[in-house]
Amino acid sequence: ILNVEQSPQSLHVQEGDSTNFTCSFPSSNFYALHWYRWETAKSPEALFVMTLNGDEKKKGRISATLNTKEGYSYLYIKGSQPEDSATYLCAFRRDNYGQNFVFGPGTRLSVLP
Amino acid sequence: NAGVTQTPKFQVLKTGQSMTLQCAQDMNHEYMSWYRQDPGMGLRLIHYSVGAGITDQGEVPNGYNVSRSTTEDFPLRLELAAPSQTSVYFCASSNNFEGQGYSPLHFGNGTRLTVT
């Protein structure tokens, strides 16, 4: 069974702070890494699809990097806002696991006004 | 465009009862899947399908059955509900089959199931 880990489990930041968290995944047989944003009482929504070592993606104040050789991805939020409060999930797809993803347990972010 | 629609949103069952969670998508996605979400754990794959007539087991398939008679629908059936199946269930679909790129998963709004 694949093990995808995320850290920290949760964090609280003040509005305006920048923050980052980590997704760790197996470094072999990499196919893709997804980041999802999951707000309370809603369903997860895709932020980034990352496929190549060294990928950097950006959407507004949120960006992500990918290192497939060492098996990690970072998600950065610049100038956090209360509306950024959510759980951030990463999902790893291996190239010999059909089309299926293994999800990490998530990082729960609370941005305090 | 409705996306992925799950019903019901909430359900309470007694141990031993049966029920079907419905999932439908209108995006013509070949790939569909069911996950369960439990506190402190990531979404865990129950069953998945890569097209009509094709289903396979995921990480936690025991106690669940699926069928895929059409591209649009992928129901999840619990035959003999147990308290261990108390969870939030999500259906997800994608256009992510081989050679077609890396489309993300599109999720339904979830079904909160309690088995007493």
Residue (of B111, B30, B32) closest to B74 by Cα position: B32
Q: Do residues A33 and A91 touch, judged by C-beta distance below 8 A? A: yes
Residue stretches of chain A with pLDDT short of 50: none
What would the pLDDT profile of B37-83 be if each residue is shown by its tens digit?
998 888 999 999 988 999 999 989 999 999 999 999 999 999 999 99
Q: What pLDDT was estimated at residue A28?
A: 87
* pLDDT value at B101 more than 60: no
Query: Does the distance separating the beta carbons of A99 and B48 come in below 8 Å?
Result: yes
Q: Tell me how far apart the alpha carbons of residues B65 and B62 are, in angstroms, rounded to a whole number.
A: 8
Q: What pLDDT was estimated at residue B99?
A: 47
Residue of A30, A101, A102 to mutate when probing chain B, most B C-beta within 10 A: A101
Min Cα separation B111/chain A (Å): 11
**3-class SS string, B54-72:** EEEECCCCCCEEECCCCCC
Q: Tell me how far apart the alpha carbons of residues B89 and A34 are, in angstroms, rounded to a whole number.
A: 20
- Residue B95's pLDDT band (cuts 50, 70, 90): confident
Tracing tokens 């929504």 back to the chain, one arrives at: A45
Q: What pLDDT was estimated at residue B11?
A: 96
Q: Tokens for A43?
A: 């369903």
Considering only residues 71 to 110 of chain B, which have any Cβ-Cβ distance to chain A shorter than 8 Å?
90, 94, 96-98, 102-110
What residues contact B99, with CB distance under 8 A and at least 6 apart?
A: none
Q: What pLDDT was estimated at residue A84?
A: 96
Q: What pLDDT was estimated at residue B100?
A: 47
Q: What pLDDT was estimated at residue B93?
A: 93
- Residue B103's pLDDT band (cuts 50, 70, 90): confident
Q: Tokens for B32?
A: 């569909």
Question: Any chain A CB within 8 A of the CB of B112?
Answer: no
Q: Least CB-CB distance to B43: which of A42, A51, A103?
A: A103
